[in-house]
Each structure stands twice: as structure tokens, then as C-alpha cells.
């Protein structure tokens, strides 16, 4: 049976998402809503479906962004494409369709970062055979999407999940409950307080945070669509913690976490993770992804505490195959590879100086 490819519009939004939700490689970062969120941040989404006998067998959301100054586009399929990755004929067909769009748009390259563990060498071998180049930066934690994560199988009963956690993690969950920490689903009205606590977190731990409008977009696009949830942690009537989770099909992801500088001793972060896991189970999810952790696991790593916290829930430490680029315009790609790190360092330097002035 021949494949039929179509670039689709808003009218097939629901059908597109339904396919993703039911596919073992479906990912929320391939959802229609994610493309709309990124459309507010200088990315233009394109959605492709491939059908066989009228049924979708593959789908991909491509994000296009123009390089600053020169205005030449790049393509990015965040955690895509979604298809049977062992079906090389289908994969080739999808790549050929993307290449047609790339030629039309003048794209330099296509970046992919599949949700595939590094131990599964078959996909890596396939990508190399099709001309993909490894785009690893050597920094592990700093890719477009995390290369290293903790992932927890949450199909067992709650008692078994708790029993499998490290003793200190179980203790801190129960301590938060005993101290009176309350975890509830957040509303749109909670966003300002969530962002306030998130700003406290970023200033304390010294990392960047997006503008408040971005979190408005996340909430408004994902939560009403059933693809996200805001969680709020309260102690003595005051919001002291918050998290944002994504979900599609049988998979859930912990995306953003915030904790106040006050009342950290009542351990709200442990209880809020547990309640998120329970929420994911209530939606019949079987996988809970804690997202990024550092790839170099020495105790002097500034992010080792994050690793230790997530490890306590007994998730599986997973390394993905990383980022791969399929180059369409080699000369410009080579120039991009030389200039992009310089551009990034300049931007980080400017942001660092601005932060120092604010602290001063």
C-alpha cells in the first residue's frame, strides 16, 4: 500500500493529537499545542501526517526558525518524528517529505533528538546511514532537550512505588504530610504566585527563567486541552511551591518546579512530586519523566543535588541518543556551527551582567 503525505492545517488538530496520544513514541513536544506555543517565540510550526489506507502511520511537527541577522531558517523536530522507528521505509518516506519542504523554505538543516535511549544503537546507525551528523555539544545537560533524565515506571500500585523509593525520600514525603503541607491543582489565578516563587528559585539557584507571558501561554494552551496541569504547594495558607506537568497518552513529564526560600524545611518538593505521580496514575499513565539531570555525576557538580533529589524516587537513569542534524546546505551549516557558540556566549554574557547589576 502506498504512503500518502499531507501538510495539515487546524482542521485536523484533534486527529493529529489523537495519533500522538496513542503511539508509543508520541510526545507532548510534538503536539499541535506545543507548536502554537513556540509560534509565539519566533518559531513557525509545520505539521505533516503520512497515511496508509486512510490511517495515519506517521506524524511530525516541524518548527522553523530564522537565524538572527541572516534570516536563513533551520528546522527542528522536537522529540520527533512519531512513527515506528524500526520501519526504515516509512522513516525514509517521512525524511523525503521534510526535505521537500526544506528545499522550498531554504532550510540549512533538520535537527532531531529522538526519545530513544543511547543503548538502542539501531536508530543511531540508521541516522548515520541517512547522512545525519551528531550535534552533541559535550555539555550533556545543556542540549535543546535534556539528554539525561530519570524515568519512572508508575504502573505498580502506590504502596509499591513508595516502597521502592529511597528511605529518605519516603520520610520527606510523610514529613510534608505530617507538617500540614497541602498540594492542590492550580488555577489560572495562581500563575502570578507560581511565577513569583519560580523567580525566587531561579535567583537562588542561578539559572535563567522565561518571561511571565511564556507561562501564560503554557497554561492557556495545554491545561484546557488536557495536556498539562499546574500544581500548587501551600503551607499555613501561603504558596511555597509549584510545578508544571505535561501529559499525553500514557506519559507524563515534570517540566518546571519552584520552591520558596521560606519553609523549605517542611519538604514541599517531595510531596508535590508524589502528588504529581498519583495524578499521572489517575490518568492511566505508565511513565513519569522527571526530565533533566546532569550527565557528569560527581558530587562537586553544582547540579548534583538535583540528581540526588530525582534519584530518590527510584526512576531509571536514562541517556538518550542526543541531537542529530541532517544537513541540507553544508557550507552555511559549517558557518553556523562556528558562529552559533559565539552568539550564545555573547547572549549569556549580557544576561550575566544584567543579573549582576540587579543583585548590586
pLDDT in tens, 172-199: 999 999 999 999 999 999 999 999 999 9
pLDDT of residue 299: 82
pLDDT at 204 over 70: yes
Half-sphere exposure of 131 (CA within 13 A, CB side): 11
75 Cβ contact partners less than 8 Å away, ≥ 6 residues apart: 62, 63, 64, 98, 101, 102, 105, 107, 109, 110, 111
| Span 289-310, pLDDT tens digits | 999 888 877 888 877 888 899 9
Are residue 159 and residue 281 in the same domain, yes or no?
yes
User: What is the pTM for the complete model shown?
Assistant: 0.91
Are residue 14 and residue 129 in the same domain, yes or no?
yes
Q: What is the average per-residue pLDDT within 247-264?
A: 95
CB 276 within 8 A of CB 270: no
| Span 49-64, pLDDT tens digits | 999 999 999 999 999 9
CB 277 within 8 A of CB 216: no
Are residue 112 and residue 172 in the same domain, yes or no?
no
pLDDT of residue 343: 57
pLDDT at 358 over 50: no
CB 272 within 8 A of CB 243: yes
pLDDT of residue 306: 86
Are residue 187 and residue 119 in the same domain, yes or no?
no
- Considering the domain boundaries, does residue 347 fall inside one? yes
Q: What is the average per-residue pLDDT within 83-96?
A: 97
Q: Which three cell numbers stand for residue 248?
A: 499525553
- Considering the domain boundaries, does residue 296 fall inside one? no
pLDDT of residue 239: 97
Sign, Cα dihedral of 273, 278, 283, 287: positive
Q: What is the average per-residue pLDDT within 143-149?
A: 87
Are residue 129 and residue 162 in the same domain, yes or no?
no
pLDDT at 286 over 60: yes
CB 121 within 8 A of CB 255: no
| Span 19-43, pLDDT tens digits | 999 999 999 999 999 999 999 999 9
pLDDT at 351 over 70: no
Are residue 15 and residue 118 in the same domain, yes or no?
yes
- Considering the domain boundaries, does residue 119 fall inside one? yes
Are residue 62 and residue 125 in the same domain, yes or no?
yes
pLDDT of residue 136: 80
Q: What is the average per-residue pLDDT within 218-239?
A: 97
Which pairs count as long-range contacts for 143-146, CB under 8 Å and 24+ apart, including other chains?
143/113, 143/322, 143/323, 144/76, 144/78, 144/111, 144/113, 144/323, 145/29, 145/78, 145/79, 145/113, 145/320, 146/291, 146/292, 146/293, 146/320
- Considering the domain boundaries, does residue 148 fall inside one? no
pLDDT of residue 360: 44
Angle at the Cα of 309 from the Cα atoms of 115 and 260, rounded to 5 degrees: 110
At residue 69 the predicted structure's pLDDT band, cuts being 50, 70 and 90, is confident
Number of domains in the chain: 2
Mean pLDDT across the chain, nearest whole number? Answer: 92
% of the chain surpassing 90 pLDDT: 81
Q: Which has the higher per-residue pLDDT, 202 or 353?
A: 202
- Domain of residue 258 covers 155-285
Amino acid at each position: 500500500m502506498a504512503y500518502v503525505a499531507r501538510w495539515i492545517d487546524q482542521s485536523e488538530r484533534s486527529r493529529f493529537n489523537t495519533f500522538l496520544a496513542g503511539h508509543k513514541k508520541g510526545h507532548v513536544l510534538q503536539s499541535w499545542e506545543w507548536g502554537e506555543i513556540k509560534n509565539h517565540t519566533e518559531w513557525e510550526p509545520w505539521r505533516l501526517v503520512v497515511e496508509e489506507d486512510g490511517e495515519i502511520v506517521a506524524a511530525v511537527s516541524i518548527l522553523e526558525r530564522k537565524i538572527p541577522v541572516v534570516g536563513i531558517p533551520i528546522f527542528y523536530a522536537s522529540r520527533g518524528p512519531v512513527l515506528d522507528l524500526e520501519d526504515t521505509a516509512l522513516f525514509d518516506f517521512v525524511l523525503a517529505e521534510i526535505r521537500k519542504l526544506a528545499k522550498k523554505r531554504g532550510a540549512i538543516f533538520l535537527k532531531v533528538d529522538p526519545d530513544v535511549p543511547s543503548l538502542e544503537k539501531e536508530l543511531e546507525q540508521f541516522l548515520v546511514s541517512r547522512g545525519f551528523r551528531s550535534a552533541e555539544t559535550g555539555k550533556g545537560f545543556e542540549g535543546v532537550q535534556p539528554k539525561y533524565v530519570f524515568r519512572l515506571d508508575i504502573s505498580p500500585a502506590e504502596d509499591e512505588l513508595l516502597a521502592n523509593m529511597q528511605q529518605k525520600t519516603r520520610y520527606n514525603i510523610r514529613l510534608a504530610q505530617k507538617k500540614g503541607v497541602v498540594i492542590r491543582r492550580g488555577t489560572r489565578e495562581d500563575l502570578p504566585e507560581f511565577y513569583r516563587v519560580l523567580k525566587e528559585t531561579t535567583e537562588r539557584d542561578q539559572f535563567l527563567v522565561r518571561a511571565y507571558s511564556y507561562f501564560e501561554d503554557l497554561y492557556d494552551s495545554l491545561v484546557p486541552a488536557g495536556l498539562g496541569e499546574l500544581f500548587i504547594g501551600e503551607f499555613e495558607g501561603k504558596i511555597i511551591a509549584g510545578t508544571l506537568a505535561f501529559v499525553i497518552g500514557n506519559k507524563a513529564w515534570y517540566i518546571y518546579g519552584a520552591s520558596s526560600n521560606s519553609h523549605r524545611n517542611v519538604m514541599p518538593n517531595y510531596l508535590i512530586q508524589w502528588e504529581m505521580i498519583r495524578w499521572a496514575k489517575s490518568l492511566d499513565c505508565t511513565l513519569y519523566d522527571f526530565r533533566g539531570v546532569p550527565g557528569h555525576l560527581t558530587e562537586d557538580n553544582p547540579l548534583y543535588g538535583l540528581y540526588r533529589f530525582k534519584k530518590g524516587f527510584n526512576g531509571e537513569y536514562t541517556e538518550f541518543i542526543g541531537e542529530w542534524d541532517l544537513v541540507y546546505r553544508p557550507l552555511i551549516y559549517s558557518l553556523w556551527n562556528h558562529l552559533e557558540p559565539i552568539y550564545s556566549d555573547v547572549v549569556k554574557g549580557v544576561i550575566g551582567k544584567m543579573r549582576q547589576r540587579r543583585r548590586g
